[in-house]
Amino acid sequence: MTQQGAALQGYNNELVKCIEDLCMQKEDLNKQIQQAEEEKNRLQHEIQVLSEQLECVCENLAQKVASRNELDKILAETEAAYMKILESSRTLLNVLKKEVGSLKHMPDLKTN
């Protein structure tokens, strides 16, 4: 019976050691899970902050694009009006040159 008791004691010791090892593995796994959850929470917070920053940048960009489009429109209208002024100036100059040319062919007016 002593041998059976010793064998039983040996099995018990191994069983207790296996249970202790499993408990240590569980503790290690719990620590890893906690670290992973903290990392997940940190990353989610960073994503939220970056999303808010991205939204602000997108709004700012949209305003700037709208301003640029308005400036493009104003610039195109101004250039078109300026081209009309240049054309009118050229026409006026041509008319003036013709008038001056026809004045050169007129006889001098005699005064009495």
pTM: 0.59
User: pLDDT 10s digit of each residue in the chain, 112 long?
Assistant: 788 888 889 999 999 999 999 999 999 999 999 999 999 999 999 999 999 999 999 999 999 999 999 999 999 999 999 999 999 999 999 999 998 888 887 766 555 5
At position 74, the amino acid (one-letter code) is I
Domain coverage including residue 24: 1-73
Residue 85 domain-assigned (yes or no): no
Residue 97 domain-assigned (yes or no): no
Residue 91 domain-assigned (yes or no): no
* CA–CA distance, 33 with 30 (Å, rounded to integer): 5
| Overall number of domains in the chain | 1
Provide CB contacts within 8 A for 89, sequence distance 6+.
none
